[in-house]
Amino acid sequence: MINEDPLRNVLYIDLSKRSFWIENRRDLFEQYIGGTGVAIKLLQKECRPNANPLGPDNPIVFAVGPLTGVFPLASKTVALFKSPLTGNLGESHAGGRSATAIRMAGYGAIVIKGTSETPVYLVINGDKVLFKDASALWGLKSSFTVGRIIREQEDGAGLRTIMRIGGAGEKMVSYACVITETYRHFGRLGLGAVFGSKKLKAVSVSGRRSIKVETPKTYRELYKEVFDRTVESPSMKKYHDLGTAVNISPLNELKALPTENLKRSHFEEAGRISGEAIAEKYLGRRVACSHCPVSCIHLATYREPYASEPYFYKTTMVGYDYELIYSFGTMLKISSPEGLLKTLDEVEKYGLDVMSTGVALAWATEAQERHLIPNDANNGAKIQLKWGDYNTYIKAIEYLTDQPNDFYKALARGVSYASSKYGGSEFALSFGGNEMPGYHTGPAAHIGHLIGSRHSHLDGAGYSVDQQNLKDPSKSTPENIAKALIDEEKWRQILSSLTICFFARGIYDTDTVLKTLSVLGYKLTKDDLTRIGGEILREKYQFKTREGFNPRNITIPKRILETPSPHGIISEDTIRKGIESATNILEKL
Amino acid sequence: MKRLAVVDVNLCVGCQGCLFACARRFGDAGLSRSAIHVKSAGGIERGFIVTVCRACLDPPCAKVCPTGALKPRAGGGVILIPQKCIGCGNCKSACTINAIFWDEDINKPAICTHCGYCVDFCPYGVLKLEEREGGGGIAT
Ligand code: SF4
Ligand code: SF4
C-alpha cells in the first residue's frame, strides 16, 4: 500500500476509560487487505476467549477497505464482534455512508472496547473523538428519533454516518440491529445488543480527506471504466429498478420461498407483495449508499389516516427488500401490502433484525397453534398470534423489545433458545443459532446456512448453487456442494475485505480487483488473492472453533427436511455429508 | 461560457458520485478537494439538497477576498489563484448558498470551475453543463 494512506490507522476507543488512541497497523492491511480480513485479526486479539458477548471484553470492530472512497461500490463497512445471538462469531455488513465516512475520517478500522458506565454517544470527526452524554437519549425506543436528534446536534451533514440503536438494542434483544442512515443496517447477529450492553447509543463518524493514488491518470481512466461497466450492467438495472424484491416472484414460482414457518415453500398471495406489486403502488423513492451508482434502496410510501381526526394522514417511508418481504410477508403470511409496510416500520423503529424477528414470530405462532406456550395472562403468551394478523404482530414486536414476561424474554434470545425452553425445536428455524434467511432452494442453501461463518445466505450463496444445479441435478452431490460453497466463500473474503458490495461481484472480477488495488500500491497477483481469501477464512474458523463451534455437532432443523424444495425433499443424509465434506475442506485451509 | 446547473434535484439518489468525481479532477481520491456537496433534506426519506456554485455574475465571495485571490470568471463565478490565497475563509462565509467548500489538505477553498467533469458521473441526469442565458460575462 501507499505510504501515507490513512487506511493503516486503527482508531481504538475505550469506553470504560473514556480514552482513545491510534495505532499504525499497516502490517495488517498489507497482509489481509482490510474489511473482514483485518477485522478478524483485530477481533481475535481484542476479544478474550469465552468472553461474555454482552460484557466489556467483547469489542466491536468496524473496518473498511483500500478501495473505499477511491472506487465505486466499495461501500460497505464490516462489523465484527462476538454475537449475543449465537455466542460465536458475529459479522454484519452495512452501507449507507458508514464506509466512506470512516475512510474519509482517516481510518481503516475502529475498535470500540470496554463499557461505559453511563449512556454515551461517540462523535468521530477526523482525528477528534468526543464522548457525548447520551442520558437524554437513553430510553428513546425509536431509532428514527435518535437519528433526528443527533442530526440536529452534530456537524458533517452529507458526509457523516450516524449508527444508532433503538429500544431493542438498549434492552439487549439478542438480534437487535444497528441502523445507519435510517435505511441500512448492521442487521444480523445482534450488534445492536452489543451497543446496548456498552451503553453506546450511537456513533457518528465524518471526514473529508483526500487519498493519494500512485498514478492519477491511470486512476481516472480505470475509475471511468469501472463506473461505465457498472452503469451499463444488467445487474445494476435489476437492483435499481425493482431492487432485491424482484426475487419474490421467481422464488415463489420455484417453490423455494419459505412460507408459514416453512410449512410450505409457496405463498398463493405473494403476488400482492411482490417487488413488482409494491413498486407499482407504493415505491416513493430510490436512494443509494455513498459512492454507489446503483441505488438499490427502495423506499415505499404509505399513508395512514389518524383515527382521531378526519382527513389527517401520516405519510411514512419504509425501506423494503427481498428478505423483509420474506420474513414478514411470507413467513407470517401478511399479504396486505399496507399491513406489511406498517409492520416493517415498527421493526425498524425499535431496531430489530427483521429476519430474526420474522422467523422468531413465525416459530411463536406455530408454537401457540400447538399449545406449547402457557396461556396465563401474566406469564404466558399474552396475545394470540395468528398468521397474517399484522396488528397482533405489531404488538408482539413491542413485547419483544420490552420483554414484559418470560415468554417474550425467551423469544428475545432467538428461536434456538426459546424452543429449548418451550419445546418445538423441530420447527425452530435456527442455523447455528441464527434465524433462517429466505431460501428453501435445496440442500446447498441449507448446508451453507449450517456451516457458514455467519450462518447466513451471504456465506457461499448456496441458494445460487441450488439454482445452478437445477439445470443438472446430478451435480447436486454433497461433495460438489461443499466445494462450490467454500470456493465462493474464499472469494467473498476478498470482496468483503475490500468491502465491495456483493451486488457488484459481477463487476469486480479478479482482474478488476487487481487493477484497482494496484492504483493504491498493492502489488498482488491472482494467486495472492486465492491464498489471502483462504487465509482469512481460516482465521475466521479459528475464532469460531476457539469459541466452541463444531459443525459436526450442529443441529439440523427438522422442518427443512419435511417441506419439499425445488430439489424435492432434502435428505438428512445429504446435509450431513455436505457438512462433513465442507468441514474436511475447512480443516485443511 | 458554460456553467454547471442542477436539472432536477428530485432525480438525485444521494450516491455522491459527483462529489468523488470533482475531487478526482486533481488526480486524488477522496473528498477534500470536492467543490460540490450533497446532503439529505433533513433525512434521506425527504430527498437531497445538491449544492453547486451558481456562477454568480457579481460574486460575493470575490468581494470579500482580502488578497484578490478570487478572480471573477467570464460566464460567472470565480477562479482561485492559489498563490495569493491566505486561507482566511472569508469567501466561504460570504457565499450566500454555501457553495464554497474547504480543502483541509491545503487550507484553501474548493471552488467549482464549471468544468462539468462531475456531470459524466451522475447516473441519474441531475447535473448538466449549460450555456448561460444571455451569454453571461464578467460583472463590473
Ligand atoms: S463542474 Fe467541475 S469543479 Fe464544478 S463541481 Fe463539477 S467537477 Fe467540480
Ligand atoms: S451524482 Fe447525481 S445522483 Fe449522485 S449524488 Fe450527485 S447529483 Fe445526486
**HEC profile for A264-292?**
ECCCHHHHHHCHHHHHHHHEEEEECCCCC
pLDDT above 60 (res A209): yes
pLDDT above 70 (res B135): no
Across A274-288, A299-313, B104-118, least confident range: A299-313
Asked if residue B100 has its Cβ within 6 Å of ligand 1, the reply is no
Alpha-helix residue ranges (DSSP H) falling in chain B: 17-24, 60-64, 90-94
Q: What is the CATH number of the domain that holds B33?
A: 3.30.70.20
Residue A222 in contact with residue A516, Cβ under 8 Å?
yes
Across A103-112, A330-339, A434-443, B44-53, least confident range: B44-53
Percent of chain A with pLDDT over 70: 99
In terms of phi and psi (left: phi > 0; alpha: psi -120 to 50; beta: otherwise), the region of A320 is beta
Round to whole Å and give the CA distance between A440 and A254: 10
pLDDT at B134: 55
| Residue B34 Cα: closest atom of ligand 1 | 8
Amino acid identity for residue A247 in this structure: N
Q: How far is B140 from chain A (nearest CA, A)?
A: 35
Instruction: Look at ligand 2, atom 8, and give the residue with the nearest C-alpha.
Output: B12
Task: Supply A538's cell numbers.
Answer: 481460516
SS3 state at A3: coil
Q: Do A285 and B23 touch (CB under 8 A)?
A: no
Between CA A385 and CA A337, with CA A165 as vertex, the angle to 5 degrees is 40
Over residues B81-99, the pLDDT tens digits come to 999 999 999 999 999 999 9
Residue A547 in contact with residue A86, Cβ under 8 Å?
no
Instruction: Return the ligand number nearest the Cα of B17.
Output: 2
Instruction: Return the ligand number nearest the Cα of B36.
Output: 1
Q: Do A69 and B24 touch (CB under 8 A)?
A: no
Asked if residue B119 has its Cβ within 6 Å of ligand 2, the reply is no
Instruction: Return the ligand number nearest the Cα of B77.
Output: 1
Domain presence at residue B80:
yes
Confidence of residue A377 (pLDDT cuts 50, 70, 90): low
**A474 CA to centre of ligand 2 in angstroms:** 48
Round to whole Å and give the CA distance between A367 and A303: 34
Round to whole Å and give the CA distance between A504 and A510: 12
The stretch A396-400 carries a mean pLDDT of: 97
Chain B residues with CB under 8 Å of A518 CB are none
Domain presence at residue B133:
no
**A108 CA to centre of ligand 1 in angstroms:** 28
**A551 CA to centre of ligand 2 in angstroms:** 46
**B15 CA to centre of ligand 2 in angstroms:** 5
Over residues A315-352, the pLDDT tens digits come to 999 999 999 999 999 999 999 999 999 999 999 999 99
Choose among B13, B30, B42: nearest Cβ to A210: B30
pLDDT above 90 (res A380): no
Task: Supply A365's cell numbers.
Answer: 405462532
Alpha-helix residue ranges (DSSP H) falling in A4-78: 26-32, 35-46
Task: Supply A299's cell numbers.
Answer: 423506499
Over residues A120-135, the pLDDT tens digits come to 999 999 999 999 999 9
Lateral strand order in the sheet of A283-287 = A283-287, A297-305, A313-320
Residue A297 in contact with residue A322, Cβ under 8 Å?
no
pLDDT at B136: 47
Q: What residue numbers bound the domain in which B113 lies?
A: 2-128
pLDDT at A47: 98
Asked if residue B116 has its Cβ within 6 Å of ligand 1, the reply is yes
Amino acid identity for residue B58 in this structure: D
Q: Do A181 and B44 touch (CB under 8 A)?
A: yes
**B9 CA to centre of ligand 2 in angstroms:** 9
Task: Supply A264's cell numbers.
Answer: 410450505
Round to whole Å and give the CA distance between B138 and B63: 13
SS3 state at A254: coil
pLDDT above 80 (res B138): no
Domain presence at residue B22:
yes
pLDDT at A585: 97
- For B38, nearest residue in chain A (alpha carbons): A158
CA-based nearest residue to A67, from A57, A81, A77, A82: A77
Confidence of residue A175 (pLDDT cuts 50, 70, 90): very high
Round to whole Å and give the CA distance between A131 and A119: 10
State the best of A287, A348, A520 to mutate against chain B, taking most chain B CBs within 10 Å: A287
Q: Are strands A200-206 and A120-125 parallel, antiparallel or unpaired?
A: parallel
**DSSP output for A513-536:** HHHHHHHTT----HHHHHHHHHHH
A1: which strand partners? none
Q: Do A299 and B45 touch (CB under 8 A)?
A: yes
pLDDT at B140: 38
Chain B residues with CB under 8 Å of A295 CB are 13, 15, 123-124
Residue B82 in contact with residue B97, Cβ under 8 Å?
no
Domain presence at residue B40:
yes
Q: Do B27 and A70 touch (CB under 8 A)?
A: no
Domain presence at residue B8:
yes
pLDDT above 90 (res A236): no
**B98 CA to centre of ligand 1 in angstroms:** 15
Round to whole Å and give the CA distance between A273 and A326: 10
Confidence of residue A493 (pLDDT cuts 50, 70, 90): very high
Q: Do B17 and A72 touch (CB under 8 A)?
A: yes
**DSSP output for A547-567:** TT--GGGPPPPTHHHHS-BTT
Asked if residue B21 has its Cβ within 6 Å of ligand 2, the reply is no
Round to whole Å and give the CA distance between A138 and A170: 8
The stretch A195-202 carries a mean pLDDT of: 98
Domain presence at residue B73:
yes
- For B19, nearest residue in chain A (alpha carbons): A291
CB neighbourhood size of B94 (10 A): 16
Q: Do B13 and A295 touch (CB under 8 A)?
A: yes
Chain B residues with CB under 8 Å of A209 CB are 30-32, 104-105
Q: Do A72 and B123 touch (CB under 8 A)?
A: no
Over residues A439-457, the pLDDT tens digits come to 999 999 999 999 999 999 8
A125: which strand partners? A128, A206
Q: How far is A232 from chain B (nearest CA, A)?
A: 10
Phi, psi of A458 (to 5 degrees): -75, -15
Over residues A26-84, the pLDDT tens digits come to 999 999 999 999 999 999 999 999 999 999 999 999 999 999 999 999 999 999 999 99
The stretch A86-110 carries a mean pLDDT of: 98
- For A69, nearest residue in chain B (alpha carbons): B30
pLDDT at A387: 98
Domains of chain A: 6-206 (3.60.9.10), 244-412 (1.10.569.10), 434-587 (1.10.599.10)
Domain presence at residue B136:
no
Chain B residues with CB under 8 Å of A231 CB are 123
Q: Is the ipTM reported for this complex over the cut 0.90?
A: yes
Q: How far is Cα of residue A282 from the mean position of the Cα atoms in its chain?
A: 25
Task: Supply A273's cell numbers.
Answer: 407483495
pLDDT at B1: 84
**DSSP output for A101-142:** HHHHTT-SEEEEES--SS-EEEEEETTEEEEEE-TTTTT---
Over residues A495-538, the pLDDT tens digits come to 999 999 999 999 999 999 999 999 999 999 999 999 999 999 99
Chain A residues with CB under 8 Å of B107 CB are none
Q: Do A213 and B29 touch (CB under 8 A)?
A: yes
Report which of residues B140 and A279 the model is more confident about.
A279
Instruction: Return the ligand number nearest the Cα of B14.
Output: 2
**Residue A329 DSSP code:** I
Domain count, chain B: 1
CA distances from A85 to A89, A353, A433, A437, A550 (A): 10, 11, 6, 15, 16
Choose among B14, B45, B105: nearest Cβ to A210: B105
Q: Do B30 and A70 touch (CB under 8 A)?
A: yes
Domain presence at residue B138:
no
Instruction: Look at ligand 1, atom 4, and give the residue with the nearest C-alpha.
Output: B112
Could you tell me how many CB contacts below 8 A there are between chain A and chain B? 103
CB neighbourhood size of A308 (10 A): 6
pLDDT at A67: 98
